[in-house]
Chain A
Amino acid sequence: MNLEPAARPETAEPWARTTARARVLQIAGSILPIAISLFAWLIAGVNPIVVVLLVLLPTLLISIGTVGFILKGKRGIPDAALIVMTFFLGAFVMVLLVSVVWSLLEAGFRALSPQFIYQNNTYVTPTDGLEFGGVGHAIIGTLLVVGLSTLITVPLGLATGVYLTETRSNGRGFVRVILQAMAGLPSVVAGLFIYSVFIVTGISQYAGWLGALALVPLMLPTISRVTEESLKLVPQELRNGALGLGASSWKAFFQVTMPAAKSGIVTAILLGVARVVGETAPLLLTVFPIAGTNLNLLSGGMATLPTYIYRFVALGFDTSVARAWGAALVLMILVGILFGLARYISRPKSLKKKKVKR
C-alpha cells in the first residue's frame, strides 16, 4: 500500500503565485516614489520630514495602488494601502531603533577604554576628562546586587513555575493573572516598598541588599512565566512514565521533568536577570551611589551601572554626560550578552517547536 501523502497539486494557492510581470511592476512601483523623494530631498532641498510625509507616503500609495489595480483590479487598491502602511510604520520603528543603537554606539565608544572598564570613580570630579576614572565599581556593584537578587528570586520563580505546571490546583489561572499584573509593577513602587519596610522603620540604612530585595518583585514574573513555558514543553508522557515506574512526584520532577527542561530554565533565569539589570528607580531609592568600590552588600553605599548613568546625566556637564554614555554602552553590552546567551541556549528547542507555516 502506498502510504506517501498525495503530492501537492501544481494549482494549489493560486493567489500566492507571482509572475515575472508582477515582480517587475512591484519593483518599479516601489523604486519610483523613492527616487522622487530622494530628488526632492537632495536636489530640491526640501526638509526630510516634509519629504517623507508629503512626498514619499502619497507617491508610494499612488504607485503601489496603481500596481495593485493593474495586477488585481479594484480590490488590489486597499491591499496596496495595507502594504504601504505596514512597511511605512514598520520602517519608522526601525529608524527609531537604529537611532537609539547608533547614538549609543557612537557616543559610547568615544568614552570606552580599558581604564574606563576597570577603574573606579574615586577622586574624579564630573568635569574631569575621560582619561581618568571609570565604571569598574559600578560593574561590580551591579553584579553583586543583581546576583543576590537572582539567588533569592530563582528558587521562588522555579517553584512558582512548578506550581503552574505540575499541580492541578484551581488557583493557577488566578496566579497567572497576578503574575502578569505583577510584570507591569512600576519599578519605582518596588523601590518605595523596600524603602518603607526597611529604611523608614529604621531597620537598616541604605545598603546593597535592600536594592537586591527591591529587584525581586520585578524579576519574579519573568522567571516564573518563562519557566512555566519551558516546563509545559516537556511531554506529558515523560512525567507519566516516571510516575508509572513508581517514582514519587518530586523525584519525577527533579530527575525527569527538570533535566528535560534545563535549557528553558536557564533561559528563564537569564531573561529575568536581563530584565532587572537596567532598573534604575528601585536602586535609587534603596542603595546610596558612591564613587568608590564597595564589596559589602550588607552596609555602605554601592554604585550600580543604572544609578551611575542617572547620576552623571543629572549632573549635566558635557564630560559627565559622555561618561554616562560610556556606562550606558557597558550596560547595553551586559544586557546583550545575557540576551544572546538566552537565545543561544534556548535555540534548538524553539526551532524544533516551530511549526512550519504555510
Chain B
Amino acid sequence: MAETSSPAPVRRALRVKPATREDKIFFGVSTAAGYSSLVLIILILIFLGIQAWPTFAQQGILEFVFGTGWSNAEEQYSIGPMLWGSLLVATIGVILAVPMAISIAYFIEFMATPRIRRIATLFIDLLAAIPSIILGLWGLEVFSYVGAEWGQMLNASLGFIPVFSNVAESFLRTPFIAGVVIAVMIVPIISSVTREIFSQVDDDLIKASIALGGNSESTFRRVILPVSASGITGGVLLGLGRALGETVAIFFVLNLVFDSYNWFNILEPGGGAIASLILGQFGEATASEVSALLAAGVILFLMTLVINSIAAFIVSRAQPWNNR
C-alpha cells in the first residue's frame, strides 16, 4: 500500500444497534409492545388457571373434561357434552362453510370482472362486519323457522340415515340450525384467507396449464387447489377456532342440554357449546360454579389457542410474501 494519504475515508465501525437514548427507548418500547400480546395470553392462562384450580382439584381434569353432568346441588361439574356439542356445531358449520367460501373466493379471483369483483368483495366484507349478536338475533327470529323446515325436509327424505333421524316433535333449536348460523359467520373468514392465497397463485402456472390443454375445471382441481391447499387449510382452521369460540349466537339458537350427549342427531333439539354454557350459567352462578365456569373457560381457551396457533402457522407458511 502506498503511504500517501488515500482519498478513501477512514474506516469506521458500522452501527446496526440503536445508539442514542431516544432510539433505544423507541425500539425498546416497540419490542415490549410486540411481546405484550404473548404476555397477555400468558396472563389470561395464569389468572383463569388460578381461579379454576379448585374445580380441577376437586373433579380431576379428566373427569371435568370428559364426564357428564352439571349440578349445583352435588357441586359436580363436567363439560363433556358441551365440549362434544361445540365440536359438533363447529364441524357442521365448517362443512357447510368451506364449499361456499371457496366458491366465493374462486368467483372473485378468477371469474369476476374488476367491477363485479369490487361489489362482491364489498358484500363479503359487509357479511364479515355484521356483529355476531345480530346474526344470533336473525338466527333466533328469522332463520330458526326456515332451518326447522329444512331440517324437516332432510329428515323426511334422508331420515333413514341415523344422522338425520329425529324422534323429538320439534325441529327448532337444533345443532343443525346453530351450524348454519355459524357457517354464515365463518364464510367471510375462510373466503378472505382463500382469496388472498388464490390471488398469489403464480399466473404462469395457470397459463401453462391452459396452454397444455387444461380447461378451467382441471386447472382449478390440478393446479390452483394443490398450490393453495395448505393456505386454505389454515383458513379453515381459523374459521374452526372462531366457530368454537362463538358465544351469543349459539346461545340464542341452540337448546343447551347439560347432562346427556347428543352424539350425532343434528336434527334433534339439544346440544351444547362451551362458550354458551359459560354465558348461560354465569348470571346466577354460585361460588363453586363460577370456578367451574372459569375452568370451562380455560379448556375453551386452550383448545382455540392450539387450533388458532396451528392455523396461523400454516397460513404464515403459505404466505411467505407476508414475512419479509
Q: How far is the CA of A232 from the CA of B324 in the complex (A)?
A: 9
Q: CB distance B34 to A99 under 8 Å?
A: no
A81, A181, A309 interface centre (most CB from chain B within 10 Å): A181
Q: Is A15 an interface residue (CB 8 A)?
A: yes
Q: Is A41 an interface residue (CB 8 A)?
A: no
Whole-angstrom distance from the CB of B40 to the nearest CB of chain A?
Answer: 5
Closest A residue by C-beta to B290: A200
Closest A residue by C-beta to B38: A178
Closest B residue by C-beta to A285: B282
Whole-angstrom distance from the CB of A240 to the nearest CB of chain B?
Answer: 14
Q: Is B125 an interface residue (CB 8 A)?
A: yes
Q: CB distance A248 to B23 under 8 Å?
A: yes
Q: CB distance A82 to B30 under 8 Å?
A: no
Q: CB distance A171 to B51 under 8 Å?
A: no
Q: Is B158 an interface residue (CB 8 A)?
A: no
Q: Is B205 an interface residue (CB 8 A)?
A: no
Q: Give per-residue flags for B24-48: 1 if the beta carbon is below 8 A from chain A beta carbons, else 0.
A: 0111011111111110110110011
Q: CB distance B282 to A310 under 8 Å?
A: no
A189 touching B44 in the complex, CB below 8 Å, given contacts A93-B127, A278-B134: yes
Q: How far is the CA of A309 from the CA of B308 in the complex (A)?
A: 29
Chain A positions within 8 Å of B213 at CB level: 75
Q: CB distance A280 to B238 under 8 Å?
A: no
Q: CB distance A178 to B278 under 8 Å?
A: no
Q: Is B170 an interface residue (CB 8 A)?
A: no
Q: CB distance B34 to A159 under 8 Å?
A: yes
Whole-angstrom distance from the CB of A33 to the nearest CB of chain B?
Answer: 18
Q: Is B264 an interface residue (CB 8 A)?
A: no
Whole-angstrom distance from the CB of B96 to the nearest CB of chain A?
Answer: 10
Whole-angstrom distance from the CB of B216 to the nearest CB of chain A?
Answer: 5
Q: Is B244 an interface residue (CB 8 A)?
A: yes
Contact of B26 among A49, A107, A193, A253 (CB under 8 A): A253
Within 246-280 of B, Cβ neighbours of A (below 8 Å) are at: 246-248, 252, 275, 278-279
Chain A at the B interface: SS class: helix
Chain B positions within 8 Å of A190 at CB level: 44
Q: How far is the CA of A160 from the CA of B290 in the complex (A)?
A: 34
Q: CB distance A186 to B220 under 8 Å?
A: no
Q: CB distance B217 to A82 under 8 Å?
A: yes
Q: CB distance B153 to A49 under 8 Å?
A: yes
A280 touching B133 in the complex, CB below 8 Å, given contacts A182-B41, A196-B48: yes
Q: CB distance A169 to B215 under 8 Å?
A: no
Q: Is A302 an interface residue (CB 8 A)?
A: no
Q: How far is the CA of A173 from the CA of B286 in the complex (A)?
A: 43
Q: Which of B2-10, B57-65, B73-81, B137-145 lines the interface with chain A?
A: B137-145
Whole-angstrom distance from the CB of A189 to the nearest CB of chain B?
Answer: 5
Chain A positions within 8 Å of B167 at CB level: none
Q: CB distance B131 to A278 under 8 Å?
A: yes
Within 233-286 of A, Cβ neighbours of B (below 8 Å) are at: 248-251, 253, 274, 277-281, 284-285
Within 74-124 of A, Cβ neighbours of B (below 8 Å) are at: 75-76, 78-79, 81-83, 85-90, 92-94, 96-97, 99-101, 103-104, 107
Q: CB distance B106 to A193 under 8 Å?
A: no
Q: CB distance B311 to A180 under 8 Å?
A: yes
Q: What's the tally of chain B residues with a CB closer than 8 Å to chain A?
A: 97
Chain B positions within 8 Å of A185 at CB level: 245, 301, 304-305, 308
Q: How far is the CA of A251 from the CA of B22 in the complex (A)?
A: 9
Q: How far is the CA of A158 from the CA of B36 in the complex (A)?
A: 12
Q: Give per-residue flags for B299-324: 1 if the beta carbon is below 8 A from chain A beta carbons, else 0.
A: 01100110111011101100000111
Q: CB distance A163 to B30 under 8 Å?
A: yes
Residues of B within 8 A of A (CB): 18, 20, 22-23, 25-27, 29-38, 40-41, 43-44, 47-48, 50-51, 99-100, 103-104, 106-107, 111, 114, 120, 123, 125-127, 129-138, 140-143, 149-150, 153, 184, 187, 203, 210, 213, 215-218, 220, 238, 241-242, 244-248, 252, 275, 278-279, 282, 290, 293-294, 297, 300-301, 304-305, 307-309, 311-313, 315-316, 322-324
Q: A47-B153, A159-B33, A184-B245 are in contact. List 16 more A-B contacts (CB 8 A).
A: A75-B215, A79-B217, A90-B100, A97-B184, A99-B138, A107-B141, A182-B308, A185-B245, A186-B246, A187-B247, A189-B300, A192-B297, A220-B37, A313-B252, A332-B130, A332-B134
Residues of A within 8 A of B (CB): 15, 47, 49-50, 72, 75-76, 78-79, 81-83, 85-90, 92-94, 96-97, 99-101, 103-104, 107, 155-156, 158-160, 162-164, 166-167, 169, 171-190, 192-193, 196-197, 200, 216-217, 220-221, 224, 232, 248-251, 253, 274, 277-281, 284-285, 306, 309-310, 313, 321, 324-325, 328, 331-332, 335-336, 339, 343, 357-358
